[in-house]
Chains A and B, each alone.
Chain A
Amino acid sequence: GAGVSQSPSNKVTEKGKDVELRCDPISGHTALYWYRQSLGQGLEFLIYFQGNSAPDKSGLPSDRFSAERTGGSVSTLTIQRTQQEDSAVYLCASSLATGIPGELFFGEGSRLTVL
C-alpha cells in the first residue's frame, strides 16, 4: 500500500508479557516517529528515527520500552513486561524530510490493551 502500515491493529496481552509493534513507513521516507495516545489524550512523543539512528529517544517512558529500525525502513517498538498503564494506541508516522520535521503521515495505529 501507499500509506504507513502498522501491525497488529489490535493486541490484547496479559500484564508482564512482552509485545512487539511493527511499523512499515512510506517507501523512501527517512524519518520515522513513534507516538502513544491514551484514551482522550494527546500525542505523547516516544522516539524519532532518522534512517537507522535515533537522534531523539527522549520520550521513551522507561527502560521497558525500546525501538529499532533496520535498513532504514521497518521499525519495531518493543514493550517488555507490559503494565496496565501501557494500554494505549501506538501511532507511527513517517516523513520525507531530513531536516525539520516535514509533513508526517500517520498510520492507523496499534491498539494495545494490557489486562
Chain B
Amino acid sequence: QQPVQSPQAVILREGEDAVINCSSSKALYSVHWYRQKHGEAPIFLMILLKGGEQKGHDKISASFNEKKQQSSLYLTASQLSYSGTYFCGTSTSGGGADGLTFGKGTHLIIQP
C-alpha cells in the first residue's frame, strides 16, 4: 500500500527549513528517500532501517519512528539546489520479498 506524504507542496525562501512527512498503514522495515528534479531521474538520498534510527548528511536528515510507521525528512537552511520533488519509499520486508512502494511526492520550491 502506498505511503502518504505531507505536505503535497511547499514554497520556501532560501535559508528556511522544511519538514516532509511520510506515513504508512503497514508495519515498515525500511524507509527510503529520493529527490527528483524536473525532467530527471530520481536520485537516492538515504535509507532508514527499522530500529528508529536517524540519519543525515550535510543539511538533510531524516528520522524513522517504526512504532508510528512514520518518517520525516528535514531540510535545514535550504538551498536553491534543494528544489525538486521528494519521494519516500517504503518496504515491509527485510528479506527482499516485496518491492519499494513510493508516495505521491512532495514538491519543494526554494525561492531566492
Contact = CB atoms under 8 A, between A and B. Distances in A.
Contact of A45 (B96, B97, B102): B102
A101 B99 contact: yes
B108 interface: no
A98 interface: yes
Interface stretch (A10-18, A21-29, A71-79, A106-114): A106-114
Contacts of A102: 47
A108 B41 CA distance: 5
B6 to A, nearest CB: 13
Contacts of A42: 2, 87, 102-105
A102 B33 CA distance: 11
B100 A48 contact: yes
Interface string A51-74: 000011011000000000000000
Interface residues of B, number: 28
A104 interface: yes
A91 B101 CA distance: 13
B92 to A, nearest CB: 10
B105 A56 contact: no
A101 B89 contact: yes
Q: Which of the listed residues B40, B91, B99 has the most CB atoms from chain A within 10 Å of its own CB?
A: B99
Nearest to A4: B41
Contacts of B105: 41-43
B71 interface: no
Scoring A35, A47, A107 by chain B CB atoms within 10 A of each residue's CB, the highest score goes to: A35
Interface of A: 31, 33, 35, 41-45, 47-48, 50, 55-56, 58-59, 91, 97-109
25 contacts: A31-B96, A33-B100, A35-B102, A41-B105, A42-B2, A42-B102, A42-B104, A47-B99, A50-B96, A56-B98, A58-B99, A59-B99, A91-B42, A99-B94, A100-B49, A100-B91, A100-B96, A101-B30, A101-B32, A101-B96, A102-B47, A104-B34, A104-B44, A106-B41, A107-B41
